[in-house]
Amino acid sequence: MGLLGNLFGSKNSSGKKVDDLPWIVLSSIEQIEEIKDKSKERPQLIFKHSTTCGISRMVLNMFEQGYPLNGEQADLYFLDLHAHRDVSNKVSEMFGVLHQSPQLLVVKNGTVTFHTSHGAIADTDLNSVV
């Protein structure tokens, strides 16, 4: 399994590999402007993840297992907070959302229309916020 597979790979309770989500790695500040622009056509989701936090890993696994959207409904960005802290800070600044980890943001028409963090991410009905 490659680097991204190791980073994003997860298994369900039966031990079987969960289908990979259509993750887009968010690694540059320039991408934030692209996200704002693309959000005018369809929703953009940003998942902020701490690779050193067990709670963040648990929430990421639950999110991946229950993700109900397909690649046509929204774009899904993954932000590694430790590798790209500058990008995380810029996301907070540009969208006016206090940083938390893990955190999920939904961007529509250039603004964050929904955000949540920690265990509430797994409880979110994405179909109702996208």
For residue range 72-124, list pLDDT tens digits in order. 999 999 999 999 999 999 999 999 999 999 999 999 999 999 999 999 998 99
Would you say residue 14 has pLDDT above 70? no
Cα gap 81→115, rounded to integer Å: 17
pTM for the full model? 0.85
